[in-house]
Structures are given as C-alpha cells and as structure tokens.
Structure 1
C-alpha cells in the first residue's frame, strides 16, 4: 500500500505544474472506462462535463478525471488530457469517432503571487497533456500538480491523497486539492481537524488536542481580516474504489464523501467554496453484501478524504513569492518526531 489513491487498482495519476505560473494540473487516467458520478456542495463551483455523470445520463463510464488550478481558465486542462487519450485511441465510440470523456473541476489560485500574464491563451491545455503523460502509480503530494498554487486561510495548501481497505477487502482512496476558504488547523495549530482519523504519522502524528476550546473554534476565512470579499476557493476531490458500483451508487458515494470536507476543514461548503467531489469505481471486485459493503466503502471514503486534506497541507512547501503563505512544516515541523 502506498497510502495513495493509486492503491485502487485500475487508475494512474499524473502531475504537471509551472513554478513561475504558480499553478498546475493533476490528471487521473483509468485503465478502462470507470463508472463515475459527482456531487457539488460548495457555492462557487467550476466544472466541465459533469452533467454526463448523473445517473440518468447515457454515458456508462469515463476515461479520466482532472483536478486543476487556474479557475475557469484551468478548464482547458481537460482538452489536453483528451488530446493525449485520443492519440492512444481511447474514448467513447460514436460510430468511427472516439471522444475521450474527461470531467474536470478547478480551484481558484489566481491571487497566489504567480505570473498569470500568459497572453492570449492560458497554459492549462499543455499542462493537462503533460499531466496525462506523467500518469503512473507514484506521484508527489503537497506543492505539486493541481495543488501547486493552492492555499488555505492560514497555510499553504496542496495536493493530498490517502487510502484504506474495507473489512470485505475493497480498496478505497481519495485525491484532493486543498484550496480551502477556511483552515485545516484546530485554532492556530499545530493539530489538524482530521487528527482523529490519522493513520500512523501520515501528517505528523500529533492527533488532536486534549480539549478543543471555544477560542480554537473561532471562525476565520480568506478575506475576513481585510474586511473584503473573500476570493473564490475550492477543495476538490476524487474518491475511488475497486468495487463494482452502479452509477447511482457512485452518486451516493460522492455525496457521502463530502463528509470528509467537514472532518478535515473548519469549515467547508461555504458561499465562496466550490467544493466538488467526484466518485469513481474501477469494477475489479464485486460487492458480496451489497448494503454492508457499500456502507463501509462510503464511511472509509470520507475518512480518506479527511486524511488526504491534512496530508495535502502537511506535505506542502511554501511558494517562492513575496508574501507567500508559510507551509505547515515551516511553522510546526520541529514538533514531528523521527
């Protein structure tokens, strides 16, 4: 087990980013079309080709899912992934034509200090192609791929992932870009809200404080200190399993997995959050007890998402720009043993 979403058989992940731009793309490629759906709980989402994921729509499966920075400009990234897949002869057959199906969600990272003066066309299509080219079983976390330019209210955000195995043997994984309006930390830190779900020392091993005080629960969000409208933010994710699921079950899995936002952030699903979760099933292992197996898959998927949120921040490094936010390890790395 890598403790990555790629522990789920049947998918690979690739990252590409531009340090000067301060942004990037993460692409998830499926070996075979995956049954997938999605759920949006944030008030400011940015997505592409998500209607086809509804259970009543004709498309049986998708070829890839993209998580990207760049706000609406970043939606070009799916075109780059499509170009890569088309070259490989992969796509939904419509007569002699092949159309790669690549739903996408984006985060807003346009105010992080990077050079966004890209001229006529944004660079995300090429970054999408590069991310698809790089797809494999191992990939970087933190300031990488679609999480390169991500931020939270108080720390550098990033790309996170985690995995688990159910009692029936189904593998579950999560992949997330943490670009939250609010915080992953209890109070001023160092503890993560997801500390109750941590496995080993995957994000420092500090657990939760012995008591969470009202002061620690005090709300803060991007833009509040400046008494200005907060910038659009988003925590976007994919949860995946090797189970055989219907499209309706994938929809329910996406809905359930949003609980991971609530476990890992204080707070989520706000007016300026675009929180979106995709759910995909690679269909390698049937459900034996349909209800019990699916309930456990959903519970662990939300746990994995909470853990991935904390890992994305824990593994991040600060951007090399003036007034860039510090990374968790810059502030608290000395507290980690070993």
Structure 2
C-alpha cells in the first residue's frame, strides 16, 4: 500500500493449456518417489466425439479398437494416460467408477456405461517397478480433475517419462500442454513424452537427448518400451472420421519434433477429442493447429521438466 491506497489484485494467469477448452478437465495422481503416475482428461458430461491413431509395434491401450471410425460408439467420457506399462491400464477402472457415480456414460437399457479409453507408457525402469497406478490412483486423478491450468513437467503420467534413449542414455521427459488459437479456431494438446528418440527444438537442435540434462536411467534400445502419448481437444464439431484424420496429423507432428520417431521400439498413441460445442472449422487450419500444438506440447514437457530440476 502506497500513500493510503490499496494494491490492485493480481490478474489471473491466462490458461494456455488443454483446460482452456471449455468442458474439459484434467487431473493427476503422482508418486515422485516411485517415479510414476497417471493423468485423466475428463470430457464434458455428454462426452466428446473421439478417435485415435496408433503407430509403432508396442502400443498398450484400453478401448483402442472402439475408437476406430467404423465402430458404433461415437463419444467417450474420459481419457486416461498412465505410467506402469500394461499394469497401469487398471487405473481406468477407478475413472469409470467416478463417472458412474456422477451418472455419466453411454446410455444402455440397463444403465449408463462410461467409455474411458486409456494408453500407457513404460516407466518401470526409472523408479520402483513394483509401484504402478491402479484403480485407487485412477480414481484419485479423476476426482482431482479441474479446469485449472494443467500442471506440467514431471507430474501425472509424465512423472517417469524419459527421452533420448536410442544411444543408450536417457534424460527426463515429462508432461506438457498448450492451447493455440488462430482466426477464431482453437486447439489444445497434452503430451506425455517418453520416446526412444531425441526431442528437437524449433531450429532442429537437440532439446532433450544425450548430454542435454541429468541422466534419468541407463537404457539399451530393445530392452524397454517407449511411447509418446498425445491428447488433442477442440470445441469445433468433428465427425469420428475427422477426429481420426486429425489424430494421424498429430502423429505426423511427432515425426517433426522427435528424432528418430515411430521406431521399432515406440508405440505412439494420439487421441483427438471434440466437444462439438462450436460449428465446424476449416479442416486445413485445424490440421495445421493440431500439428503446431502437438510439437509445442512435446517441447513444453521437456522444458518444464528441465526447469523444475534446475
């Protein structure tokens, strides 16, 4: 206070993460000691039109086939991204429990059935491999979900993520999220960065790879699974087939920001979620924004992780 006046309140920080898209909420469960965790993206109560793209020989998913454009169910109610390898898929049951309590799900003759796709990263080599997200942890992440800006870095599913392992090392990866808007079209992305390859900066230099940060663990390509997980959200109406095309665009973006990408040791998963709250947007602009947002989210993950470790 100066001269008897009062201090003006600090402005609220602008949300530039996935939760800037109305209707979507994000929550984490994190175990920093065991270096694992899970992240839940809650969709609007009526669900989000969704599809996905899976590239690489080792994706570990739940309800992945259901997201194919030709399958009957169009909307999902949440998305789980988790550590713990295939064990971590159990966390989806906790998310389903929370949604059932709230009366959210696909309408059937005998009740609402929540649709919760899930995908995992392999993080067993960096912390305690006996600790993995399960039902209780998935439920905790779902109950923690909010529309606040997404916490990023070594948190949630990105806690034990690593990058730059194809030469035998490994530096921390993490979780990143951005929201981009152009000409009234808005797209957000969340990325869990756990590739065997390096993460590249905007000029093509190595942002996360050998010699760029603290060594997370020693790896030999082939003895560990590697996966980058991406969730993209938009308000603009999309069909399930259009979601799939944008998921393919998200995979193309990974090839721009990770080198080498989509290798024999990766199992990358990209999900696209549309609340359909706004009219359709120009598909070329949407595709461009998806690719830009995915690249930015991947870089955001490793930059925030490095910043938090310094």
Shift of 1:267: 1.9
Pairing partner for 1:67 from 78, 81, 85 = 81
CA change 1:226–1:147 in 2 (3 A) is: closer
Cα distance change on mapping 1:80 and 1:232 into 2, 3 Å: same
Task: Pick from 2, 23, 35 the counterpart of residue 10 of structure 1.
Answer: 23
Q: 24-33 vs 149-158, which deviates more?
A: 149-158
Give the Cα separation in 1 of the matches to 2:220 and 2:99: 45
Verify the 8 A CA contact 2:153 2:308 in the aligned structure 1.
Answer: no
After TM superposition, give the deviation of residue 329 of structure 1 in Å. Answer: 6.3
Shift of 1:226: 6.8
2:289 aligned partner: 300
Matches for 1:146-295 after TM superposition, within 5 Å = 146-153=157-164, 154-167=170-183, 169-184=184-199, 193-195=200-202, 208=203, 229-287=222-280, 293-295=282-284
Could you tell me how far apart the structure 2 residues matched to 1:65 and 1:4 are?
16
Deviation at 1:21, TM superposition (A): 2.3
Paired position in structure 2 for 1:116: 129
2:135 aligned with 1:142, yes or no? no
Q: Could you say which residue in structure 2 is the equivalent of 1:82?
A: 96
Which segments of 5 or more consecutive residues in structure 2 lack a partner in the other structure? 1-13, 165-169
Q: Which region of structure 1 is more displaced relative to structure 2, 122-131 or 297-306?
A: 122-131
Q: Are residues 83 and 166 of structure 1, via their aligned partners in 2, closer, same or farther at CA, if it must alter by over 3 Å? A: same
The 3 A distance-change label for structure 1 pair 226 and 300 is: closer
Shift of 1:328: 6.0
Residue 109 of structure 1, CA deviation = 0.1
Identify the structure with the greater strand proportion.
2
Question: C-alpha displacement at 1:147, in angstroms?
Answer: 0.5
CA displacement at 1:227 relative to structure 2: 5.9
Structure 2 length-normalised TM? 0.86
1:8-63 CA deviation, whole Å, 9 max, x = no partner? 12211111112232100000001121000000112211100011111111102000
Measure, in 1, the Cα distance between the counterparts of 2:277 and 2:181. 14
The 1:24–1:226 alpha-carbon spacing in structure 2 relative to 1, beyond 3 Å, is closer
**CA 1:287/1:23 → structure 2, altered by over 3 Å: closer, same or farther?**
same
Q: Secondary structure at the match of 2:95?
A: helix
Counterpart Cα distance in 1 of 2:123 and 2:220: 20
Partner in structure 2 of residue 92 of structure 1:
106
Q: Matched residues in 2 for 1:24 and 1:164: separation?
A: 26
How far, CA to CA, are the matches of 1:194 and 1:57 in structure 2?
A: 38
Secondary structure in 1 matching 2:259: coil
**Structure 1 length-normalised TM:** 0.79
Aligned partners of 1:106 and 1:65: how far apart in 2? Answer: 11
Aligned to 1:200: none
Q: Distance in 2 between matches of 1:123 and 1:295?
A: 38
